Chain A
Amino acid sequence: MVSDRVLAQQGGYRLRMEGIHKRFGATIALAGVDLSVRGGEVLALVGENGAGKSTLMKVLSGAHAADEGRMWLDDKPYQPRNPLDARRAGVGMIYQELSLARHMSVMENILLGMEPTHGPLMDWTAIRRRAADAMSQLDRPDIPLDIPVMRLSVAEQQMVEIARAVAVGCRVLVLDEPTSSLTRKDIVHLFNLVRRLRSQGHAIVYISHFLEEVREISDRFTVLRDGQSVGGGITSEVPTERIISMMVGRTVDELYPRSLRTPGEILLQIDGLSGQGKPRSASLTLRRGEVLGVAGLVGAGRTELLRTIFGLSPVRGGTVRVGAFTGTATPHRRWQQGVGIVSEDRKQEGLAVSLSITDNLTLSRLPRWITPSGQDRQASRWIGRLAVKCRSPRQSVVDLSGGNQQKVAVARLLHHDVDVLLLDEPTRGIDVGSKAQIYQVIDDLACRGKAVLMVSSYLPELMGVCDRVAVMCRGVLLPARPVAEIDEHQIMAEATGSGDTV
């Protein structure tokens, strides 16, 4: 907002970021972001997955250097060279993934890396005193200082992490999706703490998807979309619908091929499926020649849904029927039944990156006796079909670009000739050209009578590729609706739990 910019020029801000640009290779992650926050204020940073929130915070914490743009801390230029630099300058980051030394005591964790000493010896008295100070600032003197951190609950561990930031005397505290693994009760405690820190004069940046939380805790908000700040304002003055439209209002600039698809018989039917924790309850029907999308926020349980269907995570209740087969099954059986999965985590799970393209592509369907040249020939066919850029099918997958790696992961399903494809974030972190190719493959498959169940956090993609979309919110899969009858606002509202859930 214009008034924001004017205020920023006038000073009075604890932290200011202006015109931040950041590019990774060909990908533009940040294309001019402005952000400012005062002491004693909570600023909510909202935006869809991939909007650039994490990159922005990595620039702030010194993990990435910005290509362009400037930052000020209390009106002094601020240019952290690394996270330690940022921490010394008074910028405390609390990430979703906690970074604690699990086996060490609470007080050691709080003062890790800046322990008071007597010469070479640890000054345990001072360590205990300063840790206790930090904890009482957080109003949590009840957490024992001597026990190893791993014996604390997740919420308490988060307190230790915040105490660590407070103990260094942080001036800006960034909380990245802090409630994603907390219970409702812990969330209330956390919010009380945030208000307490605010009243002590800390500047707080609060990153969240959950608009209800944003409304509850923040004074102002800034919206990030496609790496740009597209708006902001006083939280209490702007209706939730307006914030949602700021988050999603973008043009569809990619090509989503959609040939005529004719739904056939049911290939996959799920009733009241629940797994370990998530999903809590999921029912869906997937037909031949159909692409069904699952939307939702990170942590809603979409990945767990696919894994539970595929037998990678245990089924606690409900049924899964694949064609004529009913009941639970191992991944091995699922492949035999004609179901294949593409993992969202390409490097850790999807691909054995030290092995060759051929090995990765044919792994799920190897004959008992192998002729390496024959395997290479089969792999080459898919390499050609999907235009995988490589020197040879024997090349290690580790050398390929993300997009080409993803094509190999998808090609495995094509090579296996599965009927049901479970795709988890199939286009995450890959270039637009590869994305277009994967969309084309999905459309071809649907036309040829395959069934696709696709999880994505990128709404335009879901709207462009899928026939129907179902939203998942906190472990519950809501009923699927044809894309013609649903828009991005409704999806966003359902996903953030702020809409009228059926």
Chain B
Amino acid sequence: MNPSPELTTPSRFSAGELIGKLGPLIGLVFVLALFSILAPATFPTLNNFELILRQTAVVGTAALGMTLIIIAGGIDLSVGSGIALYTVVIALLLRGGVHPLLAAAGGIAAAAFCGGVIGFLITRLGLAPFIITLGMWGVLRGAAKGLANNSMVYPPATGLNELLQPLSADFIWFLTPGAWIMLVLAAVVALMLRYTRFGRHIFAIGSNEQTARLCGIHVENTKLRIYMLAAAFAGVAGILQFSYLTMGDPTTADGMELNIIAAVVIGGASLSGGQGSVLGSLVGALIMTIVSNGCTKMGLANWVEQIVTGCIIVLAVALDRLRQRRMS
């Protein structure tokens, strides 16, 4: 069957690779089972699962962009600030009488612009993404506060407010629009990573930038596009966050970038680049939400929840390192 006589072993993946691919899913099943046992009455219900999906939408959508960046060997610490800025931009546009769809598009455009600035600085100044986006973390937060005049921006009610509302109890299977947005975008990104040249170039740059350059890839341009595209996903996350708040809040999503990065890393991406998957990142985001949701259902205090979340992140990164060592 095989075209080459040299293909001796029939298995397509080694055991290590298989565990690497399934690891996040195993983790998901584990936390689901754990909280189903610990909080049998309140946790494993259809309503709660629907709620978990809605709670995941913002982080999950932003994690799609972060997945691209991390696969390419970069990082973006400014996403949380960005999301706050985009809620403000959308609210201001709506208050100015702009059509809701245009306001949403405006939020995405603002995000893509910010991503373009980040990408430009990283590729033209040749500075580490960590430093550039740490700076942008402050700049975007400040810009949000300045635009919003240091207060909430209350827009008139529009359809944008409904994206993360639960559908009526009868239609709960059909999910909220926000969850659909996340899932559809996830499918698009997953297909893009696998079936387009751009997607393969992202992996190549993250795996070995020098090889990418040797093979004629425009590394700088590709990086610029990655940061713009990733920011556009943060823009969509901003729309969802706006919908959740129903207003523009320059102080919202504080520290959310760390949840997003954690989701991607739990999902099997390597912070040194070249590895990661959309499915993994979504599962990572779900694990984060489930832990938080499950702790709430068990009636645990917020501080316990935070400690548990922290431990999960460390555990996931430790597993990542272990996998790396096996690779080399």
Hey, which chain A residues are within 8 Å of B171, CB to CB?
none
Q: How far is the CB of A97 from chain B (nearest CB, A)?
A: 18
Interface: B195 (CB within 8 A): yes
Comparing B27-35, B112-120, B215-223, B304-312, the segment that makes contact with chain A is B215-223
Comparing A214-222, A272-280, A331-339, A430-438, the segment that makes contact with chain B is A331-339
Q: Are A363 and B8 in contact (CB under 8 A)?
A: no
- Contact A343 B275, CB 8 Å, known A370-B195, A396-B327: no
Interface: A153 (CB within 8 A): no
User: Which one of B8, B196, B210, B215 has the highest number of Cβ atoms from chain A below 10 Å of its Cβ?
Assistant: B215
Q: Are B196 and A384 in contact (CB under 8 A)?
A: no
Q: Are A366 and B216 in contact (CB under 8 A)?
A: no
Hey, which chain B residues are within 8 Å of A351, CB to CB?
208, 211
Q: Are A363 and B204 in contact (CB under 8 A)?
A: yes
Complex CA distance for A366 and B218, rounded to whole angstroms: 13
Hey, which chain A residues are within 8 Å of B2, CB to CB?
380
Complex CA distance for A364 and B218, rounded to whole angstroms: 11
Complex CA distance for A333 and B215, rounded to whole angstroms: 10
Hey, which chain B residues are within 8 Å of A348, CB to CB?
208, 210
Interface majority SS on B: helix, strand, loop or mixed?
Answer: loop
8 Å CB contact of B216 from A331, A371, A390: A331
8 Å CB contact of A383 from B6, B14, B201: B6
Hey, which chain B residues are within 8 Å of A369, CB to CB?
195-197
Q: Are B216 and A335 in contact (CB under 8 A)?
A: yes
- The residues in A between 368 and 396 inclusive whose CB is less than 8 angstroms from any CB of B are 368-372, 377, 380-381, 383-384, 387-392, 394, 396
Hey, which chain B residues are within 8 Å of A371, CB to CB?
195
8 Å CB contact of B203 from A334, A359, A364, A384: A359
Closest to B5 in A: A384
Hey, which chain B residues are within 8 Å of A380, CB to CB?
2-4, 7
Interface: A154 (CB within 8 A): no
- Contact A359 B204, CB 8 Å, known A352-B211, A352-B274: yes
A-B CB proximity, top 8 nearest: A352-B207, A352-B208, A384-B4, A332-B216, A335-B216, A364-B215, A349-B210, A366-B197
CB<8 Å pairs between A and B, sample of 18: A331-B214, A332-B216, A333-B216, A335-B215, A363-B212, A364-B215, A364-B216, A369-B195, A377-B3, A380-B4, A380-B7, A381-B3, A383-B6, A384-B3, A384-B4, A391-B8, A391-B14, A392-B7
By a beta-carbon cutoff of 8 Å, the part of chain A in contact with chain B is 312, 330-336, 341, 343, 348-355, 359-360, 363-364, 366-372, 377, 380-381, 383-384, 387-392, 394, 396, 398, 412
By a beta-carbon cutoff of 8 Å, the part of chain B in contact with chain A is 2-9, 11-14, 17, 194-197, 199-201, 203-204, 207-208, 210-218, 274-275, 327-328
